[in-house]
Amino acid sequence: MALITNILNNAAAVAKGMSVTLVEMLQPTITDAYPEGPAKLEERYRGVHVLQRDENGLEKCVGCFLCAAACPSNCIYIEAAENTEEGRISGGERYASVYNIDYSRCIFCGFCVEACPTDAITHGHKFEIASYNTSTLVYRKEQMLTPLPADFKPLVVKQEAPSAGH
Amino acid sequence: MSTSTAAPPTVVNFTVDGRQLSAPPGTLLIDACKRAGIEIPAFCYYEGYSLQAACRMCLVEVEKMPKLQTACTLPVMEGMIVRSETEQIHKARKGTLEFLLTNHPLDCPVCDKGGECELQDMVFRYGAGESRFTEIKNHEPERQWSPVVFYDPARCILCYRCVRACNEGMGVGALGVTNRGVVSEIAPNMVDHLDCDECGACIDICPVGALTSNTYRYKTRPWEMQHVGTVCTHCSNGCKTTLGVRNDEIVRGNNRDRSGINGEFLCVKGRYGFDVSTNEERVTSPMIRINGKLEAVSWSKALGFVAEKFRSVSTAGGSFGVVAGPHLTNEELFYLQKFTRAGLKTSNLDHARSGDLVTLLDALSGKTDALATSDDCYNTKAALVIGSDLSQQHPFLAFQLRADVRHHKANIYTVTPGPVREAKYSAQSIEVPVGGEFDALRNLTETLKGEQELVILFGDSIKGQRVRDLVEWASGLGIPVKYVCLVDYSNSRGAMDMGVMPNLLPGYEVDPHPGMSLGQMLSHETLDVLWVVGANPLRGKTLASKQAFVVTQTMFLEETSERADVVFPSASAYEKNGTVTNVTGQVQRLKAAVRTMGAKTDLEICGLLAKELGLAVEIGVWSHDVVFKEIHKSVRGYNVPLPILITGGAAATNPVNGRVAVDVRIEDIQSAGDTLFTSGELGRYSKLLTSVPEFPGALYKR
C-alpha cells in the first residue's frame, strides 16, 4: 500500500514540475539572443556618452567643466576655446575644443549627465568597447559627437539670445 | 559737571546678536563683526579702500534706528545694539539679490568667475530660489578694453570696487562710471580702451565676472587648477604671486589669498609676466658651437666638453671670469660663488649691480635698525624718494606709500629728475637734474626736521661718496631714519648678500684676494673663460678678449649666446625651488610651479659641472635645501626663522652692522631703468608685456 502511495506521490510531483515547464513554454521569451542577435537595452541604459547638438546643428557643450568636476573617477578631460563670429561651434560663448573621456576609468555612474547645464552630454547605448589596448579607450570628442544628418541645413544661426527670467 | 578734558575712550562696547563686543572707536561695524566671526555680506565694501555703500547687502538692524543701516559705513558706538540675522534683514538681502539678478545673466557655466564668484556664493547663501521678474534681461555686448582687460557690462553689478582699486590703490584712475540709473556702466579713460598700468587689479577685485583677463579667459575653471604660491621673478620688490597651474601650464597669476608682503597687490609683470616660461624661443637642449654654428648635443657631451676646457685652462694658469644673473636664487648664487672661489680659485665674479648697498651698509656702520622693510614703507609717518620713478620701477613700494598716505596721512617727499606719479599726493615734489639732489635736500631739511620719522628710498644716482653724504645729511635731521637702497631685479639684493662680487664674500665679508669686476672682465684682453649664468652681459657691450671660451646658461639665445661656445638651457624662476631676497632684504621662498622639457635649474647645471670637474665633494651637494641650510648657518644675516619661510612668509634678513671696507667702483653701478612694462632680459621674451599699447613706457613722464 505504502509503495502505491509512494509511486502516486512521485508521479504527482513530476506532473507538478512539468506543469511549470509547460506553462513557461507558452510564455514569451525574456532572455536575449545576445551576442548572436542584438542586445536589447532599456531607454535609460548608461552606455558610452553621446555629445548632443542643438536644433541648429551647433554643439550643445559650452565647455563649462562641470561634468569633469562631478566625475568621481576623474576621467573627463576638457579644453575650452572661444567661439568666433566666423567659426561658431557651440551655441554659447565658448565651446570644448578638446573633450576626452577615458573609458578605462569611467564607471558609468551618470553624474556627468546630471551635472550638465545644457544637456550636452547624455548616455548612449553603445557598450561593446572592450579592447586589448587601453589607449584606444580614451574617446575623443569626434567619437562621441552625434553626426549631423547628411541633408542637414541649419534653420538659422542662433545668436546668443537674452534669457528671460531665471 | 566739570570741564575736565577726559581722554577719548580707547574702546567702545556694543552688542551684536546678543554678543558683547568691543572695538577701538572709529572701527566700522562690518570690520568689528568680521573680527568677532560674525559674517556680514557685502559686495562694495573692500578693506583698505574708500566707502561706497552702493550694494546694500550689509544692511543690519540697529536698535533705536528706524531703518536698516549699512554696516560698512557705520562706526561702532557705545551701547549700540545690533542684530545681523532677523527676518527683516533676510528679506532685504533676498530683495537686493533679486534686483542684482534682474539683469545679471545666468551664464555661470561659461563665465570665468563661475566657481569663485561672490555673487554666486551670496545667492546660494542668502538669495531666493526663484525670481519674480519675467522681463527680458538688458543685454550689452562684451567689450575689449586692452590686450588684457575685457568688460562684460551685463554681468557688472556696479559695486565700484574696480574704480576705487584703480584710483586709490594704483593711483591711475583709469576707470569711472558713465550714464545713470539702470544703464550705468563702468567706462575706461580713453572712451573705448584703457591707457593705464595694465596691472589687472580691477579684474582681480571684481566680485563677479564682469572684468575678465584675456590671458586666462576660458583656459580653465577655478577648481581645475593647482595653486602654487611663489615669488614674482621680475623686479626687486619680491611680491608673492599665486600661480594657477593646470596640466603643467601656468594659466593665471594673482594673490587672492592676500598672503605675503604684498597682500593682493601685483603689477602687470607679476600678474601676466609668467609667459616667458612658455615662450617657444626657449632653449631646450645644450648646444656646442661647431664650425661657427650652435648645434644641439647631449647633456653629457656638453658638460664633458666644458669640464675639459675648464680643466685645461686651469692647469695652464689661465683666467676665468664668472657673471651671475640677478634672477638666480640665493642657493644658486651661493653655490656659484663657492664654485668660483673654491673650485676655479678666482674671485673674478660679479653681477650687473644696480644700487650701492655696500657703501650704505658701510656708512650705516654702528646704527641699528636703519634698513627699512616693505612694511616700514606702509607704516612710516614720512618718506623721501630720491632719484627713482617709484610707480614705474618699484610698483609695490609705490603702492605701499600710496596706502600709507590714505590710511596714515603720511607725508611723501620726492626729489626726482622728472615728474612722477607720487607728486599727485606728495607733501612736496622737487624736480632736479641728476647731480643736483643735495641742493633740493638742503631746502627740505627744515621741513623734514618737523617729521617724527623718515624712510629714505634712493636710486642709483646716489652712489659712492654721495651715499655717505646722504647718511650724514639725514643724521643731522635728528629723527629716526631708515633707508632702502633701490636695486633692479628679483634677486639683485641676494646676489650682493651671497657675495657674488669680486671683493666681498657672502655676508659682506671682505675678500682677501679681490678679483675683477664685470666691467674689468669684459675689457680684459686675455680672459680665457667667460662663464655666464643667467645673465646677458654682452647686450650692447663687446667682449675684448678674442680668445675667450664663453659658456652661458640661459633661457633664450640672446646676445651673449651669439658669442657663446657652449649654451646650456636653464630653468626660469617659475620652474625652481629656492629662496630670493627682495630690495628691502626680505627672504621669500620660490616654489616650482611647472617643469619645462629640456631645461635644468642653474643649480643643477653648476652641480653637474662640479661633478664633471671632480669638485662635487669640495663644493657640496647641489640640492636647494642643503645649500639653503649652509646659507642659513654661515651667511651673516640669514639665520632667519624657518617657519616664516616654510609657510610662505617673508623673513627679514639682518645684514652686517659694521665696516665694509672695500673700494666701490661706482662706474659698475647702473640701474637698467626698467619701466612697468620692461623687465630687462626677461621682459623681452614676455609676449604680453611687449603687446600692451603702453609698452615700452618711459620713466619720469607722469
* Whole-number pLDDT of residue B2: 44
Strands B59-62 and B81-83, by their bridges, are antiparallel
B560 and B475 in a common domain: no
**B367/B187 Cα distance (integer angstroms):** 51
Q: Give the distance from residue A73's alpha carbon to the nearest chain B alpha carbon, in angstroms.
A: 14
Domain boundary among B454, B486, B518: B486
Nearest to B224 among A65, A117, A163 (CB): A65
Which contacts (CB < 8 Å, 24+ apart) does range B83-87 have?
B83/B16, B83/B17, B84/B16, B84/B17, B84/B33, B84/B38, B84/B40, B84/B60, B85/B17, B86/B61
**Looking at residue A165, what is its pLDDT?**
43
* pLDDT recorded at residue B128: 79
Q: At what angle do helices B602-612 and B330-338 cross, to 10 degrees?
A: 20
- Contact residues, chain A to chain B, C-beta under 8 Å: 62-66, 68-69, 80-82, 92-94, 117-118, 162-166
B6 occurs within a structural domain: no
Same structural domain, B506 and B655: yes
Q: Which three cell numbers stand for residue B322?
A: 664668472
Q: How large is the average pLDDT for residues A141-159?
A: 77
Task: Say yes or no: B230 and B177 in one domain.
Answer: yes
Q: Are B245 and B222 in contact (CB under 8 A)?
A: no
Closest by CA position to B202, among listed B145, B251, B141, B122: B145
- Please report whether residue B700 resides in a domain: no
CB contact under 8 A, B109 and A81: no
**DSSP structure class, residue A87:** -
Asked whether residue B441 falls in the same domain as residue B583, the answer is no
Instruction: Work out the pLDDT band at A148, boundaries 50, 70, 90.
Output: confident
Please indicate whether, in this complex, the C-beta atoms of B107 and A93 are within 8 angstroms of each other.
yes
Domain boundary among B260, B278, B296: B278
* Candidates A82, A117, A118; nearest CB to B218: A82
Q: Report yes or no: B129 at the A interface, CB cutoff 8 Å.
A: no
**Which among B97, B143, B214, B218 is the top mutation candidate for probing chain A, defined by the most A β-carbons within 10 Å of its own β-carbon?**
B218
CA dist., res. B286 & res. B185, Å (int): 54
Is residue B111 one of the residues assigned to a domain? no
CA angle, B10 then B16 then B21, to 5°: 30
**With an 8 Å Cβ cutoff, are A92 and B110 in contact?**
yes
With vertex at residue B237, the alpha carbon angle to CA B231 and CA B240, rounded to the nearest 5 degrees, is: 25
Residue of chain B whose Cα is closest to the Cα of A67: B109
Residue B428 covered by a domain: yes
CB contacts, 8 Å: A93 with chain B: 107, 110
CA distance A82 to chain B (A): 7
Chain B residue numbers with beta carbons less than 8 Å from the beta carbon of A165 are 131, 133-135
* Minimum distance, in Å, between the CA of residue B158 and any CA atom of chain A: 20
CB-based contact A65 B221, cutoff 8 Å: yes
Residue A47's φ and ψ, nearest 5 degrees, are -105, -155
**SS3 category, B683:** helix
SS3 B513: coil
Q: What is the number of structural domains in chain B?
A: 4
All residues of chain B having their beta carbon less than 8 Å from the beta carbon of residue A115 are none
**b/e per residue A16-53 (b: at least 16 CB within 10 A):** eeeeeeeeeeeeeeeeeeeeeeeeeeeeeebebbbbbb
Closest A-chain CA to B115: A66
B218 → closest Cβ in A63, A66, A165? A63
**What sign results for the dihedral spanned by CA atoms B460, B461, B464, B470?**
negative
Torsion of CA B70, B72, B78, B84, to 10 degrees: 60
Residues B68, B31 within the same domain: yes
Can you read off the three cell numbers belonging to residue A109? 555612474
* Pick from B128, B130, B277: nearest CA to B575: B277
Res A166: pLDDT: 45
B500 and B603 co-located in one domain: yes
Strand partners, B531: B322, B551
- Residue ranges for chain B with pLDDT beneath 70: 1-7, 702
Q: What is the CATH number of the domain that holds B247?
A: 3.30.70.20
From CA B635, how far away is CA A141, in angstroms rounded? Answer: 57
Q: Do A64 and B110 touch (CB under 8 A)?
A: yes
Cβ-Cβ contacts under 8 Å, B153 against chain A: none
Examine residue B92 and state whether it is found in any structural domain, yes or no: no
| Residues B245 and B295 reside in one and the same domain | no
DSSP letter for each residue of B538-551: TTT---S-SS-EEE
Identity at B312, one-letter amino acid code: S
Q: How many CB atoms lie within 10 A of CB B592?
A: 18
Picking from B131, B219, B223, the nearest residue to A166 by CB comes out as: B131
Q: CA nearest A68 in B: which residue?
A: B224
pLDDT score at B370: 92
**Phi, psi values for residue B411, rounded to 5°:** -100, 125
B165 to chain A, minimum CA–CA distance in Å? 28
Contact A93 B139 (CB under 8 A): no
CATH number (domain holding residue B641): 3.40.50.740
Interface test with B, best of A62, A79, A166 (most B CBs within 10 A): A166
Asked if the Cβ–Cβ distance from B110 to A63 is below 8 Å, we say yes
Instruction: Give the Å distances, CA to CA, from B620 to B146, B335, B545, B570, B629.
Output: 49, 8, 32, 20, 12
**Does B526 share its domain with B574?**
yes
- Distance between start and end Cα atoms, chain A: 85
Establish whether the linkage from the previous residue to A35 is cis, with ω within 30° of 0.
yes
Interchain pair A162, B134: CB under 8 A: no
Which of chain A's residues have a Cβ under 8 Å away from the Cβ of B224? 65, 68-69
Chain A residues with CB under 8 Å of B139 CB are 162
Nearest to B393 by CA among B701, B659, B652: B701
Using the structure block, give the residue that is written with the C-alpha cell 610707480: B391
Close Cβ partners of B672 (under 8 Å, ≥ 6 residues apart): B352, B354, B488, B680
Task: Name chain A contacts of B106, Cβ cutoff 8 Å.
Answer: 163, 166
Which residues in A lie closer than 8 A to residue B135 (C-beta atoms)? 164-165
Contact A81 B218 (CB under 8 A): yes
Q: What is the pLDDT of residues A36-45, one digit of tens each?
A: 988 889 999 9
Cα nearest neighbour of B214 on chain A: A82
Q: How much is the mean pLDDT over chain A?
A: 89
CB contact under 8 Å between B130 and A92, yes or no, is no
My answer on whether B40 and B51 are in the same domain is: yes
In a domain, B59, yes or no: yes
In B, minimum Cα distance to A166 occurs at B131
Do residues B338 and B403 both lie within one domain? Answer: no
Q: Which residue range is the domain that position B665 belongs to?
A: 287-354+491-671
- DSSP H helical segments within B511-651, as ranges? 518-523, 559-563, 602-612, 616-619, 624-634, 642-646
Identity of the residue in B110, B133, B139 whose CB atom sits nearest the CB atom of A165: B133
Q: Which residue of B has its CA nearest to A117?
A: B109
ipTM over 0.85: no
Q: Does the distance separating the beta carbons of A166 and B106 come in below 8 Å? A: yes
Contacts of A66 in chain B (CB under 8 A): 109
In a domain, B666, yes or no: yes
Residue B101 to residue A80, Cβ atoms within 8 A: no
Please check whether residues B345 and B257 belong to one and the same domain: no
Q: Quick check: A82 and B114 CB within 8 A?
A: no
Euclidean distance between CA atoms B569 and B572, whole angstroms: 10
pTM over 0.95: no
A-B contacts at Cβ under 8 angstroms: 55
DSSP-derived 3-state class of residue B310: helix
The reply to whether B134 touches chain A by the CB within 8 Å rule is yes
Task: Output b/e per residue, B30-44; b: 16+ Cβ within 10 A.
Answer: bbbbbeeebebbbbb
Supply B409's cell numbers. Answer: 596721512
- Determine whether the interchain pair A69/B223 forms a contact, defined as Cβ–Cβ distance below 8 Å: yes
DSSP, collapsed to helix, strand or coil, labels residue B665 as: coil
Cβ count within 10 A of residue A155:
8
The minimum CA-CA distance between B156 and chain A, rounded to whole Å, is 15
CATH number at residue B22: 3.10.20.740
Domains of chain A are 49-144 (3.30.70.3270)
- Reading phi first (left if > 0) and then psi (alpha if -120 to 50, else beta), residue B560 is in alpha
Residues of A in contact with B218 (CB under 8 A): 63, 80-82, 94
Query: Are A62 and B219 a contacting pair at CB < 8 A?
Result: no
Closest by CA to B102, choosing from B135, B70, B74, is B135
Do B478 and B496 belong to one domain?
no
Using an 8 Å CB-CB cutoff, list chain A residues near B105: 162-163
Query: Looking at chain A, which residue has its C-alpha nearest residue B112?
Result: A64
**Cβ within 8 Å, pair A92-B107:** yes
Q: Does residue B683 form part of some domain?
A: no
